[in-house]
Amino acid sequence: MARLVNEDGCGPEAGSSMHREKGRTEARWGPQHAGARELANLYSPGKRCQEWISVILCFSLMAFNLLHLIANFHLGHVWFILLAVAAGILTADFASGLVHWGADSWGSVELPIFGKAFIRPFREHHIDPTGITRHDFIETNGDNCMLTIFPLASMAISFLTLSPAEVYHNYPWYCYVFAIAIFVTLTNQIHKWSHTYFGLPGWVVFLQDCHIILPRKHHRIHHVSPHETYFCITTGWLNYPLERLGFWRYLEDLIQSAMGVKPRTDDLKWAHKVN
């Protein structure tokens, strides 16, 4: 497999030594940033175990449901499948934006259990954006796999317990849920590819160039500090319309006036960490 190379145009090892050089003289975004180092050290064996279990369960359920969807396919379902995939992609893109916005803007790494497990990767990603390119498959996809276990399990139970007539009746809904599950599961892999500048398979670059998955140039807009827009990271299709509507700012104003808390205070705290 081709070696993955990050946004700096260097491989992981070269990137690290380059950042070490920079780190001697000034605090920079990257693996040598004091906050990034501290956040990377919070990745625990328990968290790793949760990710492994999530990946195994999620992909087993996905294979099980795919086999049942194929077994129950009828020609009359073709249009439903196309509609379901389109709606599933849009729903997954919006969900990616909502979760990303929520984790970037609110909460803190100090929150018990949840903070270290689920807020930490978002903080780390802003101060070390290419860190994700050094994460393996399990660390990249574990959390998203965990999110889709419940809907996939509930679909699997339906296939095991419902009559063929009931499955036929529910088939369009299953296609929609399955499309969401696939795209939500793949969101962080797609996000990782959007930070990888060399060594990507040709078909991934093709999908990025056609804007079927999140393009690299498009995602750079989110990485301009203070990271307050373009939160959708599955396809990014909803980023422009949501920005035009002022959707995220509206939500932030609503929460700020209701609860008196300012968005991104924890994110800024980690960004300014110097030792």
Report the interface residues with Zn ion, using CB under 5 A.
Answer: 104, 227
Give the distance from CA 9 to its chain's centroid: 23
Cβ nearer to Zn ion, comparing 19 with 195: 195
Q: Shortest gap between Cβ of 192 and Zn ion (angstroms)?
A: 9
What residue is closest to Zn ion based on CB? 104
If the CB atoms of residues 178 and 231 are measured against Zn ion, the closer one turns out to be: 231
Q: Of 104 and 139, which CB lies nearer to Zn ion in the complex structure? A: 104
Nearer Cβ to Zn ion (157/224): 224
- Report angle CA 180, 222, 143 to the nearest 5 degrees: 40
At residue 58, what are phi and psi to the nearest 5 degrees? -60, -50
Cβ 266 to Zn ion, closest distance in Å? 12
CB of 76 to Zn ion, least distance (A): 41
State the minimum distance, in angstroms, from the CB of residue 195 to Zn ion.
Answer: 6
The least CB distance from residue 159 to Zn ion, in Å, is 36
| Closer residue to Zn ion (CB): 152 or 186 | 186
